[in-house]
Amino acid sequence: MILSVSRRTDIPNYYSEWFYNRIKEGFLYVRNPMNVHQISEIKITPDVVDCIVFWTKNPLPMIKRIDEIKDYNYYFQFTLTGYGNDVEVNLPNKKTKMIPVFQELSEKIGKQKVIWRYDPIFFSDRYTKEYHLKAFKSIAEALNGYTEKCVISFVDIYPKNKKNMEGLSSYELNDNELREFAKELSKMAADNNIKIGSCAEKINLDDCGIVHNCCIDRELIEKIIGCKINVSKDKNQRIECGCVESVEIGTYNTCKNGCAYCYANYSSKSVETNAAKYDPLSPILCSQVQEDDKISIRKVESLKQAQLSIFDM
């Protein structure tokens, strides 16, 4: 099993104590977002968890206790952009705080296991193409030697973020402009020994030096764990998404980063309400089990191939 921690909220930043407690207990509960009274009990011991994929904008709260997951394989998707607090409301200063955190994490666990995400990219009067190129170049230079890969994407408009994006007066580039922009990003990344890929983009940027990326990446996971895995493409993601199947453990409407482009929160009020329910000792994130909840044990198992094929000889 591959554990996703988490597409729905920033667990490393705000709920790492809960996660470490669940690691100690060896299981956790996850509500079905489509049926809130359906709860899955999921075993998360090292014998069934092949790899953990962390998604975060600030893993600092996790770093001092990272040895507590020494029996697990994992990597981090670390989002680090050039946006200010008008867009990423509750994040510390990137230059003085977050770049050093990225460097610290890389030094502790290895650059292969820290993926830099410069996404999602949107354009506005403040965040112009030139602004992004300058910000990307500055961050890439700072991360030279601290990561092997960068992932980019362009913002998608959903009902949950439409109002916020309209408030930022965002606009789109045409395909030719996007390609020219992507070529410049690709060159800057290469100049700093960083490979670059795109996340769930319809536009093909291969000729710009940017390949279609898989965030939950079979190839990287197999490299980290040292063996092949039996896993299929994640059918629950968009067609353009190349991620393989994983078990998501997060809860919507709990991320306190306050990002204007976020698709995982309905509103700041809903986040405030749910975050107030946080109990690091509860088996379920930002919630408690109620009388009318139904708990089912989800069958999970290791995806590792037990035997080598002739192609591995």
Query: What was the pLDDT predicted at 311?
Result: 44
- Spatial separation of the C-alpha atoms in residues 58 and 65, rounded to whole Å: 14
pTM equals 0.93
Give the model's pLDDT for residue 307: 55
Is residue 258 a contact partner of residue 15, using CB atoms and an 8 Å limit? no
The answer to whether residues 44 and 28 touch, using CB atoms and an 8 Å cutoff, is: yes
DSSP string for the chain: -EEEE-SSS-HHHH-HHHHHHHHHHTEEEEEETTEEEEEEEEE--TTT--EEEEEES--HHHHTTGGGGTTS-EEEEEE--S--TTTBTTPPPIIIIIHHHHHHHHHHH-GGGEEEEEEEE-B-SSS-HHHHHHHHHHHHHHHBTTBSEEEEEE----TTTHHHHHHTT-B---HHHHHHHHHHHHHHHHHTT-EEEEES-SS--GGGT-EEE-SS-HHHHHHHHTS-B---B-TTS-TT--PBP-EE---SS---S-BTT-SS-S-HHHHHHHHTT--TTSSBTT----TT-EEEEPP----B-SS--GGG-
- Domain of residue 217: give its range: 2-312
Tens of pLDDT, residue by residue, the chain (313 residues): 999 999 999 999 999 999 999 999 999 999 999 999 999 999 999 999 999 999 999 999 999 999 999 999 999 999 999 999 999 999 999 999 999 999 999 999 999 999 999 999 999 999 999 999 999 999 999 999 999 999 999 887 666 777 777 778 888 899 899 999 999 999 999 999 999 999 877 778 888 888 888 899 999 999 999 999 999 888 877 776 778 999 999 999 999 999 999 888 888 899 999 999 999 999 999 999 999 999 999 999 999 987 554 445 4
Structure tokens at 117: 């995400």
pLDDT value of residue 180: 95
Query: 160 near 265, Cβ under 8 Å?
Result: yes
**Strand duo 195-199 + 114-121: pairing:** unpaired
| pLDDT (0 to 100) of residue 201 | 76
| Integer Cα distance of 44 and 24 in angstroms | 10
**pLDDT value of residue 162:** 75
Number of domains observed in the structure of the chain: 1
**pLDDT score at 313:** 47
